[in-house]
Each structure stands twice: as C-alpha cells, then as structure tokens.
C-alpha cells in the first residue's frame, strides 16, 4: 500500500461564470465540489490505475466530513486524523477564457492534534511500501513538519517521495528522503539562487543530493524531468510538448515515483512512468485524473538522455 499524506486537504469548489472582471458582481453556477489537495490527487491517480493506496492527514468540520464523503464516493481509501478546526476551501472561478484560484490557508492545528496524527502515521507506515509527502501545511505546524515525517518513515524503512520546496525541503533533506521531486521554482527557492537551463538543473539536483536526498527528480514543466541518482543522471521528456492543464501533473509524477519505488523498478523505468503519468494528467481537465491513452503513448515514446 502506498501511503499518500495530505496535511491540508481542501474542499475544491468550482464556479462557472462568464466575463470575469474586477470591480463587479458575477452570478455563478456551482459546477462542482470535490475533495482536493495534492496528497488526495496522488491517491486519486493511484486509485485510477488500480494501485492500492491510503490517504491520510488532518481533517475537520463540516467540510472535512464532505471531503471524506467524496473520497468514499470515489472509492479512495482514507484514514484522516480529526482536528477541531475546519478544513479549508479552495475556489476555482472558471470562465470560457480563463480560470482563477483562491486558496484558503487552512485550519490552525494544535500541537496535541499533530501528535495524534503522528501516532496514526506511524501505524499506517506499518503496512506501507512507500509514502508520499506533498502540498501545503496548515497554520500551526512549523517548517519541520515534513522533516519529522521523513525521519519517521526512514526509521520505519519505508521509502519516501517528497514534493516540496523552500524551508520545508531544506529541513527535510537532512533526514535523508529517498526521493525529492521539487519543480524548477521550488529548487530556486530552496537554493536561494536562479537556476539556469538544464545544466543548472543538473547541478542543483546534485546539490540537493549532497544535502541528503537519495535521488532527485526536478520537474521542468513541459520540458520534462531532470533526475540525479547514485547510479546516474538523466533528462527524461516526452517526444513533443503536451499542452493542456498543468494542474495535477506534479501530483501524477509524485504518484508515479512512489509506484516505481514500490515496484523497485530501475530509474529509467521509473522515469518512463513519471513522464507518462504527468503527460496523462496534463491531458485532463481535473487534477487527480490522468488520460491513460496519452500516458501510455508518452511513456512508450519517452526520450531519455544520460546527463554527464
């Protein structure tokens, strides 16, 4: 079972309207309400592909109950730790030309609630073959939250995929995460410098390894993945750019990396799955889903180059 951690899940509400303009009122249609957050998207992708997973995290209030009901309806296994605060909303306003997203910060988590979650996390790790850590952390948790979770997984000998940047990544590196999967912007934020071109990504990946990561997979959007491991480094990309909705591509990549670790694939095979699933996510409108035909084609035609 792959354990997907979603510390700050959101009730994703989609509004459909026309002609969004500042300074005015808009009548909207409520086009959907569903459980969201990066960890939940990871679990959704794994569920779609028939890979056993459980999503865990912190959840509360009427919106928390709505989140669980939506996951039940989708058949996604979950085991959240209850908190007194209410889970957040995320509002996406879609008009025919565009979309805007408004993300609430989430509930304040008390230190006792965090300790209760850690107990649950330890229990769930007992049955886990890999764990993913991704997405924002709610107010009240400090910047070491992901470092703590990486350390506990390491002690339990469960491989970890961490998708984070900035101080959360910096602190987690010291705990030796199996794989870190930041994007280019997150790498720049973490190393506090601009990252130029592919050679810059390659050097940055090695720097993240030197700081403690076992392997590093940096996603560079439509330009593919730069990967550095103990056994080699690669650029992996689809043969042509996939256009569409990039939301959720990072989550599909995280899911693929965890699935690859679980199967103990070699890196070229893991990257093939990563390029495929990410392309499949870009081809759908909704985060947490992939277009399996696009994914299979992108995986089959992946261009893999060794990097010196």
Q: For residues 63 and 202, which CB has a smaller minimum distance to its own copies in the complex?
A: 63
Q: Report in angstroms how near the CB of residue 210 gets to its own copies at its nearest.
A: 32
Q: For residues 1 and 86, which CB has a smaller minimum distance to its own copies in the complex?
A: 86
Q: For residues 40 and 208, which CB has a smaller minimum distance to its own copies in the complex?
A: 40
Residue 290: both structure tokens together: 């992939």
Q: Report in angstroms how near the CB of residue 14 gets to its own copies at its nearest.
A: 11
Q: How many CA atoms lie within 13 A of 220 on its CB side?
A: 22
Q: Report in angstroms how near the CB of residue 24 gets to its own copies at its nearest.
A: 7
Q: Report in angstroms how near the CB of residue 25 gets to its own copies at its nearest.
A: 4
| Element (DSSP H or E) covering residue 61 | helix 61-74
Place of tokens 């339990």: 156
Q: For residues 136 and 215, which CB has a smaller minimum distance to its own copies in the complex?
A: 136
- Measured distance CA(190)–CA(275) in Å, rounded: 24
Where are the extended beta strands (E) located within 52-208? 53-59, 81-82, 88-95, 98-103, 130-134, 160-163, 179-180
Q: For residues 36 and 224, which CB has a smaller minimum distance to its own copies in the complex?
A: 36
Write a three-state SS string for 252-288: HHHHHHHHHHHHCCCHHHHHHHHHHHHHHHHCCCCCC
Residues 6+ apart with CB under 8 A from 1: 52, 53, 54, 127, 128, 129
Q: For residues 7 and 261, which CB has a smaller minimum distance to its own copies in the complex?
A: 7
Is residue 290 helix, strand or coil?
A: coil
- Measured distance CA(118)–CA(57) in Å, rounded: 9
- Measured distance CA(282)–CA(260) in Å, rounded: 20
Which residues contact its own copies (rule: CB under 8 A)?
15, 17, 20-30, 62, 91, 93, 97-105
Q: Are 306 and 227 in contact (CB under 8 A)?
A: no
Q: For residues 33 and 206, which CB has a smaller minimum distance to its own copies in the complex?
A: 33
Q: Report in angstroms how near the CB of residue 17 gets to its own copies at its nearest.
A: 7
Q: For residues 84 and 127, which CB has a smaller minimum distance to its own copies in the complex?
A: 84
Is residue 118 helix, strand or coil?
A: helix
Q: Report in angstroms how near the CB of residue 26 gets to its own copies at its nearest.
A: 5
Residues 6+ apart with CB under 8 A from 62: 86
- Nearest one of 60, 38, 40, 42 to 51, comparing CA atoms: 42
Q: Report in angstroms how near the CB of residue 143 gets to its own copies at its nearest.
A: 16
- Nearest one of 208, 222, 225, 215 to 272, comparing CA atoms: 225
Q: Report in angstroms how near the CB of residue 258 gets to its own copies at its nearest.
A: 24
- Measured distance CA(283)–CA(248) in Å, rounded: 10
């Amino acid at each position: 079972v792959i354990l997907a951690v979603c510390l700050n899940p959101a009730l994703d509400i989609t509004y459909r309207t026309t002609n969004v303009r500042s300074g005015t009122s808009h009548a909207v249609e409520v086009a959907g309400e569903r459980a969201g957050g990066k960890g939940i998207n990871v679990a959704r992708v794994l569920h779609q592909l028939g890979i056993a997973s459980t999503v865990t995290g912190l959840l509360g209030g009427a919106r928390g109950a709505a989140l669980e009901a939506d996951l039940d309806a989708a058949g996604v296994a979950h085991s959240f730790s209850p908190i007194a605060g209410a889970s957040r909303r995320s509002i996406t306003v879609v008009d025919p030309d565009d979309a805007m997203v408004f993300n609430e910060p989430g509930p304040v988590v008390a230190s006792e609630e965090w300790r209760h979650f850690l107990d649950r996390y330890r229990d769930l790790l007992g049955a886990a073959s890999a764990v993913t850590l991704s997405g924002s952390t709610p107010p009240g948790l400090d910047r070491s939250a992901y470092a703590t979770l990486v350390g506990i997984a390491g002690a339990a000998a469960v491989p970890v995929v961490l998708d984070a940047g900035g101080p959360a990544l910096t602190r987690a590196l010291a705990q030796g995460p199996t794989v870190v999967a930041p994007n280019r912007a997150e790498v720049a934020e973490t190393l506090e410098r601009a990252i130029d071109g592919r050679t810059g990504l390659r050097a940055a990946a090695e720097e993240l390894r030197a700081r403690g990561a076992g392997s590093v997979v940096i996603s560079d959007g439509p330009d593919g993945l730069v990967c550095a491991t103990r056994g080699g480094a690669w650029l992996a990309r689809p043969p042509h750019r996939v256009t569409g909705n990039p939301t959720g591509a990072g989550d599909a990549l995280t899911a693929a990396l965890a699935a690859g670790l679980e199967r103990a694939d070699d890196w070229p095979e893991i990257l093939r799955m990563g390029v495929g699933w990410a392309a499949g996510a870009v081809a759908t409108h909704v985060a947490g889903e992939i277009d399996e035909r696009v994914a299979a084609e992108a995986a089959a035609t992946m261009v893999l180059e060794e990097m010196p």
